[in-house]
Amino acid sequence: MTSALEKLRQEFGGDIIQPGAAEYESASRSLLTPGSPAMVLRPRTVGDVCAAVTFAAGKVLSVRDGGHGFPGFGTNDGGLVIDLSGLADVEVVDSERHIVRIGGGATWGQVAVALAPHGLAISAGDTKDVGVGGLTLAGGIGWKVRKYGLALDGVVAAEVVTADGEVVRTSAAERPELFWAIRGGGGNFGIVTAFDFAAHPTTDVFHGRIAFPATEVATVLNGWSDYMRTAPEELTSVASFANPMAGGPKAPIEIHLVFDGDDEKRAATVLDPIRELGTVVDDDVALKPYGETLMDGVVPPPAVRIVNRSAFVDHDSVSDALRILADAGASEHAPLIAVRSVGGAVARVPDDATAYAHRQAELMFVTTIAGPPPVLDAGRPPLEALWASLAPHTDGLYANFTSSATDEDVAAIYPPETYRRLAAVKRQYDPDNLFARNYNIRP
């Protein structure tokens, strides 16, 4: 151990943070999960990442980018954390093809700020502090998803440090199976130190929410999902209701949306059918720079835990799933329910082009309960009953919006053929399963 540590100190130029250090308390935890790792390593260069990975062999290892993962893979007790936040450069490397190289530890807020002067954007998530690494490797459903696809659909190449400490480049032409696997297979195959994304020129966009009373949840929800089937792909939207912070079952149903364009007349034509779904009680949709659509992250109080669960819904199950969700939203123990429209550009990519296996889903929804442990304990039985009634109408789950990490969850994320192909890549690049703290593909 000591000699390995001495070697690390010689080869590693980043920060080594151990218990007792001033930064340890903040460095030891990820956003939602406390931890007590023996050491947090913050590399500054790709060479540092190689040294850190070599040192990690045989240890419990967490890899952290934005630290926003729900299952808490970004920290552990007694093991090692490699915190990539020092690798956050964002550089336009090919201005004609709009290729942008992004460090594996950047956040989407940093990306939006860096790309704004170039008039470029990448289809990502909705929150500034979320990491490019975690969100992209498992999907990435954001405000441009219906027009440009998932965040991972924008990746054209990546630099990866594999379990043996080697730096490899992967793309459609270089190590294509690894390239397939990292787009949907999470952090199972190595540490991505840089992503090359094909960005898109962007104008300002219309962004905001249109709200309707709680009494209209069922009508608005059904009308919204019908409209999203044929709505232009510049429109991406999320229907959310039963927000416990706004009255739970009495909370309004809100359609949060982005119309990806700055033409006011066309935006009105596309958005007015949403306004006509019911009695509008609030409408703050306004033209703004794309970067301003991203929310500031919120750090929950230390005692608060968040339990998320997500699932996809195929076309034929939409009305049954929405009926059950609307009824749940009206009940005393309603969780927060958010339903995202997908389809569009996501569904046009062939199913086996990447390891993301849920391209044909029409909707993805998330239930959230939050609070100190006694509140969660009270909320769990009705939540489990809700999920039992939803089971016949859902298909798979979205890795980025799920707090648990059981074998059933892994099977719901990766259907058998996807899992089989991922396991073959895992055997090649991480046969000893060093990168195990994720929705794990066992070699």
Ligand X SMILES: Cc1cc2nc3c(=O)[nH]c(=O)nc-3n(C[C@H](O)[C@H](O)[C@H](O)COP(=O)(O)OP(=O)(O)OC[C@H]3O[C@@H](n4cnc5c(N)ncnc54)[C@H](O)[C@@H]3O)c2cc1C
Q: Which residues form the interface with ligand X (CB under 6 A)?
A: 30, 62-70, 73-74, 84, 104, 125-127, 130-131, 133-135, 137, 139-142, 186-187, 191-192, 297, 400-401, 437-438
Cβ distance to ligand X smaller for residue 191 or 397: 191
Q: CB within 8 A of 114, min separation 6: which ones?
A: 90, 91
Least separation, in Å, of the C-beta of 158 and ligand X?
9
At residue 398, what is the residue type?
Answer: Y
Cβ distance to ligand X smaller for residue 192 or 214: 192
Cβ distance to ligand X smaller for residue 130 or 214: 130
Residue 222 tokens read as 């059904």
CA angle 425, 429, 435 (to 5 degrees): 100
Least separation, in Å, of the C-beta of 40 and ligand X?
12
Q: Are 207 and 285 in contact (CB under 8 A)?
A: yes
Cβ distance to ligand X smaller for residue 214 or 365: 365
Least separation, in Å, of the C-beta of 186 and ligand X?
6
Q: Are 140 and 151 in contact (CB under 8 A)?
A: yes
Least separation, in Å, of the C-beta of 197 and ligand X?
13
Q: Are 325 and 303 in contact (CB under 8 A)?
A: no
Cβ distance to ligand X smaller for residue 86 or 223: 86
Cβ distance to ligand X smaller for residue 65 or 216: 65
Bridge-based pairing state of the strands 235-241 and 200-201: unpaired
Cβ distance to ligand X smaller for residue 66 or 371: 66
Least separation, in Å, of the C-beta of 167 and ligand X?
13
Residue 437 tokens read as 């703290």
Least separation, in Å, of the C-beta of 354 and ligand X?
14
Least separation, in Å, of the C-beta of 271 and ligand X?
20
CA 1, CA 4: separation in Å to the nearest integer? 5
Least separation, in Å, of the C-beta of 6 and ligand X?
27
Least separation, in Å, of the C-beta of 339 and ligand X?
13
Cβ distance to ligand X smaller for residue 400 or 418: 400
Cβ distance to ligand X smaller for residue 103 or 278: 103
